[in-house]
């Protein structure tokens, strides 16, 4: 058994929809749809251990917190766990006034009645009935003709109508799904939906929800969009229907299909958080909503603390959210590769100076902070990384803003370490390597500042007088120069024979959160023509510069 050389003998291409004047390709999404979460139903029916009441309640509360206003809470006729949970939600008054719950049922009298029983008494509810309408299901599952399949829907609709009429305490809404819509003949789907509408008599003011599922995703998403546009254009009494999308992800394009379906005229999207659901899952509501957000549209769903959402979803589904899942995955805001890191770091620096709200950071489609993510993990370092990577980590972790040329000087140390260790380098690895390379806050083999004083002579020159430990032995030393740095340079030249010429110097204050207040960086040329760097960190900026000279001197003698 293996893949066929001629797969066309087994699989046929999906026939295109004849819609030459299709409008959806030139439309854009400008308003959010109505959202329905089916996490507690389609999501729940697809996991190994369906949620118990506690998990369902935790998930329900999360959905309410996020701002979902339509929640499919289960399949009440499936069994006592489902029924009791739903009944409990209603009886405990836990359903907010602006949230409408929905329950799913097959088109069978006993199941429909049980479904009404489960939510009767709630302020408003949607009873959602389905039956499959496409050829394979008609022929194989039901062994029924088109007329008989249409009749299943009509019979169920009548039961729904009568049950609702007999239970006046709730504002009942109806939803019908021609299951397997995406693989059914379009005109037949319309015919069945029309027959259901004839029974339920929806109006513009009290519309029916017609949910058009890609129960199994079987074609490219443009085909689904054609199907939705065709359906919307040819459904009689379209104004009395809310067109809802329910896409699965068998081809990996469930989100794309939902988006194109909205462009094609739909009003509502059903799905699950992070795409849980049958087989490859349902359309991911987080992705569709945040895709809109990145186009400047408020989706009406709040993912400001996306990690909390993930935590609850993973707990309830007992499934991990993939590390590369759009917007939520642990790695989706992380760059390991050098050129990405370089561009991202420049993007963040540009934001500091531009004072501009518009988001323009290369490689990041959304500001991680909008989702409650910190910038620290945006850049991580391994053997694929470049200067921007460790420079970012040192800046985030230690507040150090290394000059570009010093980054180049330090880079080989990081690359060597990453290659040797063969793993990601964490902030502590990089900091330790930096301290070792530049003799910072470490017991240097050669020169160690103990204390010093600086005084000004009558001629304006500066006198450095201090104690420096040399290989563990304290030595009193002094030197004169035009400024503090040059007086220290003279000292180490005269006292220790280390001749350095300063070619570059920068300093900056360190942000809150570190013990030290200032960092100084010094580029020097040695007598034998080498370019070396020193770094000094101290509470006091002047002392930081002295330390930077000694750091360079240590490097010079270390060779
Ligand atoms: C695409 C979707 O996700 S649809 C939702 C699917 N979700 C679930 O099935 C989860 C909950 N389901 C359950 O707990 C059970 O399936 C129940 C309680 C609904 C029904 O259980 P049972 O009656 O024991 O079995 P089962 O689901 O296999 O029913 C099959 C029968 O229902 C018929 N049937 C299937 N779907 C429908 C429908 N939508 N409307 C009417 N009849 C249907 C089948 O043709 C079959 O009839 P047959 O026995 O004459 O061959
Ligand atoms: C019940 C329907 C909407 C369904 O879950 C599907 O077709 O995937």
Q: What is the pLDDT of residue 377?
A: 86
Q: Is the pLDDT of residue 512 over 70?
A: no
Kind and range of the H or E run holding 124: strand 124-132
Q: For 67-77, what is the mean pLDDT? A: 98
* Domain 447-558 falls under CATH 3.30.160.270: yes
- Mean pLDDT value across the chain: 96
* Token pair for 433: 């390597």
Q: What is the pLDDT of residue 58?
A: 98
* Token pair for 451: 């204390």
Q: For 260-270, what is the mean pLDDT? A: 98
Decide if 175 contacts 142 (C-beta within 8 A). Answer: no
Q: What is the pLDDT of residue 179?
A: 98
The predicted-structure confidence for 272-327, as pLDDT tens digits, reads as follows 999 999 999 999 999 999 999 999 999 999 999 999 999 999 999 999 999 999 99
Closest by Cα among 355, 396, 357 to 374 = 396
For ligand 1, the distance from its centroid to the CA atom of residue 108, given in whole angstroms, is 9
282 is in an annotated binding site: yes
Q: For 488-506, what is the mean pLDDT? A: 97
47: Cβ below 6 Å to ligand 1? no
For ligand 2, the distance from its centroid to the CA atom of residue 558, given in whole angstroms, is 71
Q: How many Å apart are CA 126 and CA 209, to the nearest integer?
A: 9
How does residue 245 score in pLDDT terms, banded at 50, 70 and 90? very high
% of the chain exceeding 70 in pLDDT = 99
Q: For 474-492, what is the mean pLDDT? A: 96
Decide if 480 contacts 493 (C-beta within 8 A). Answer: no
Closest by Cα among 240, 326, 386, 316 to 52 = 316
For ligand 2, the distance from its centroid to the CA atom of residue 297, given in whole angstroms, is 28
Q: For 402-407, what is the mean pLDDT? A: 97
Q: Is 255 exposed, middle or buried (0-12, 13-18, 19+ CB in 10 A)?
A: buried
**Atom number in ligand 1 closest to CA 215:** 1
How does residue 514 score in pLDDT terms, banded at 50, 70 and 90? low
Domain span(s) for CATH 3.30.160.270 in the chain: 447-558
* Token pair for 131: 């039956």
Q: Is the pLDDT of residue 493 over 60?
A: yes
Q: For 38-58, what is the mean pLDDT? A: 98
DSSP letter assigned to residue 293: H
Q: How many Å apart are CA 138 and CA 344, to the nearest integer?
A: 54
Beta strands in 303-370 (DSSP E): none
Of all ligands present, the nearest one to the C-alpha of 180 is: 2
Q: How many Å apart are CA 82 and CA 70, to the nearest integer?
A: 18
- Identify the CATH number of the domain defined by range 333-378: 1.10.287.1400
Q: What is the pLDDT of residue 155?
A: 98
- Identify the CATH number of the domain defined by range 29-317: 3.20.20.70
How is domain 384-438 classified at the architecture level of CATH?
Orthogonal Bundle (1.10)
Q: How many Å apart are CA 160 and CA 157, to the nearest integer?
A: 5
Q: Which residue has the tokens 């040399």?
A: 470
340 is in an annotated binding site: no
Q: Is the pLDDT of residue 530 over 90?
A: yes
Of all ligands present, the nearest one to the C-alpha of 144 is: 1
108: Cβ below 6 Å to ligand 1? yes
Q: For 518-538, what is the mean pLDDT? A: 97
% of the chain exceeding 90 in pLDDT = 94
Residues framing ligand 2 (Cβ under 6 A): 42, 104, 130, 177, 179, 211, 213, 215, 246, 248
Closest by Cα among 412, 406, 377 to 392 = 377
Pocket test for ligand 2, best of 177, 243, 257, 261 (most atoms within 8 A of CB): 177
DSSP letters for 166-186: T-TTSEEEEEEEEETGGGS-H
Decide if 379 contacts 312 (C-beta within 8 A). Answer: no
Q: What is the pLDDT of residue 513?
A: 57
List beta partners, residue 128.
104, 175
Q: How many Å apart are CA 419 and CA 411, to the nearest integer?
A: 12
Q: Is the pLDDT of residue 120 over 80?
A: yes
Q: For 245-252, what is the mean pLDDT? A: 98
Domain span(s) for CATH 3.20.20.70 in the chain: 29-317
Closest by Cα among 253, 258, 257 to 268 = 258
Closest by Cα among 257, 165, 269 to 220 = 257
Would you call 24 helix, strand, or coil by DSSP?
helix
Q: For 241-257, what is the mean pLDDT? A: 98
Q: How many Å apart are CA 453 and CA 450, to the nearest integer?
A: 11
**Atom number in ligand 1 closest to CA 131:** 39
Pocket test for ligand 2, best of 38, 41, 42, 193 (most atoms within 8 A of CB): 42
Q: How many Å apart are CA 531 and CA 406, to the nearest integer?
A: 10
DSSP letter assigned to residue 465: E
Q: Whose CA is nearest to atom 13 of ligand 1?
A: 78
38: Cβ below 6 Å to ligand 1? no
How does residue 116 score in pLDDT terms, banded at 50, 70 and 90? very high
Would you call 483 helix, strand, or coil by DSSP?
coil
Q: What is the pLDDT of residue 110?
A: 98
Q: How many Å apart are CA 486 and CA 325, to the nearest integer?
A: 55
Domain span(s) for CATH 1.10.1220 in the chain: 384-438
Could you tell me the CA-to-CA distances from 42 to 48, 75, 187, 325, 357 in Å, in that order? 13, 9, 27, 19, 39
For ligand 2, the distance from its centroid to the CA atom of residue 177, given in whole angstroms, is 7
Q: Is the pLDDT of residue 174 over 70?
A: yes
């Amino acid at each position: 058994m293996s893949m066929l050389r001629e797969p066309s003998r087994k699989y046929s291409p999906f026939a295109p929809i004849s819609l030459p004047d299709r409008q959806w390709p030139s439309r854009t999404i400008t308003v959010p749809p109505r959202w329905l979460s089916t996490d507690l139903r389609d999501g729940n029916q697809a996991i190994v251990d369906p949620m118990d009441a506690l998990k369902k309640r935790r998930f329900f509360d999360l959905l309410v917190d996020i701002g979902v206003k339509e929640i499919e809470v289960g399949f009440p006729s499936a069994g006592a766990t489902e029924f009791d949970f739903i009944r409990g939600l209603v009886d405990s008054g836990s359903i907010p006034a602006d949230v409408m719950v929905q329950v799913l049922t097959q088109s069978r009298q006993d199941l429909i009645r049980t479904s009404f029983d489960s939510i009767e008494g709630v302020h408003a509810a949607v009873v959602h009935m389905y039956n499959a309408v496409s050829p394979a299901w008609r022929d194989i599952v039901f062994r029924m003709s088109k007329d008989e399949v249409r009749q299943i829907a009509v019979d169920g609709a009548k039961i729904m109508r009568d049950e609702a009429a007999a239970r006046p305490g709730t504002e009942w809404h109806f939803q019908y799904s021609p299951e397997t819509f995406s693989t059914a003949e379009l005109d037949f789907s319309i015919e069945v939906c029309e027959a259901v509408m004839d029974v339920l008599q929806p109006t513009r003011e009290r519309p029916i929800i017609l949910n058009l599922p890609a129960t199994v995703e079987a074609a490219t998403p443009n085909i689904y969009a054609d199907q939705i546009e065709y359906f919307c254009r040819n459904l009689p009494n379209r104004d009395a229907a809310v067109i809802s999308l329910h896409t699965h992800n068998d081809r990996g394009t469930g989100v794309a299909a939902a988006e194109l379906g909205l462009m094609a005229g739909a009003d509502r999207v059903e799905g699950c958080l992070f795409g849980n659901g049958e087989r490859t899952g349902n359309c991911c509501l987080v992705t569709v909503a945040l895709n809109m957000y990145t186009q400047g549209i408020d989706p009406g769903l709040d993912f400001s603390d996306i990690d909390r959402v993930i935590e609850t979803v993973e707990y309830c589904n007992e499934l991990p959210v993939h590390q590369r899942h759009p917007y939520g995955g642990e790695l989706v805001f992380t760059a390991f590769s050098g050129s990405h890191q370089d561009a991202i770091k420049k993007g963040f620096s540009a934001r500091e100076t531009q004072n501009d709200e518009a988001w323009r950071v290369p490689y990041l489609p959304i500001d991680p902070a909008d989702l409650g993510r910190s910038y620290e993990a945006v850049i991580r370092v391994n053997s694929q990384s470049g200067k921007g990577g460790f420079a970012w980590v040192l800046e985030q972790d230690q507040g150090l803003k290394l000059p570009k040329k010093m980054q180049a000087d330090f880079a080989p140390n990081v690359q060597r370490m990453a290659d040797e260790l063969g793993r990601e380098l964490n902030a502590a690895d990089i900091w330790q390597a930096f301290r070792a390379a530049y003799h910072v806050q470490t017991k240097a083999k050669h020169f160690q500042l103990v204390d010093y004083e600086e005084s000004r002579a009558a001629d304006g020159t500066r006198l450095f007088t201090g104690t420096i430990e040399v290989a563990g032995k304290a030595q009193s030393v002094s030197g004169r120069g035009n400024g503090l740095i040059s007086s220290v340079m003279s000292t180490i030249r005269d006292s220790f024979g280390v001749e350095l010429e300063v070619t570059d110097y920068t300093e900056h204050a360190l942000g809150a959160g570190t013990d030290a207040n200032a960092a100084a960086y010094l580029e020097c040329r040695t007598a034998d023509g080498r370019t070396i760097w020193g770094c000094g960190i101290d509470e006091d900026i002047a002392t930081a510069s002295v330390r930077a000279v000694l750091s360079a001197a240590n490097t010079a003698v270390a060779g």
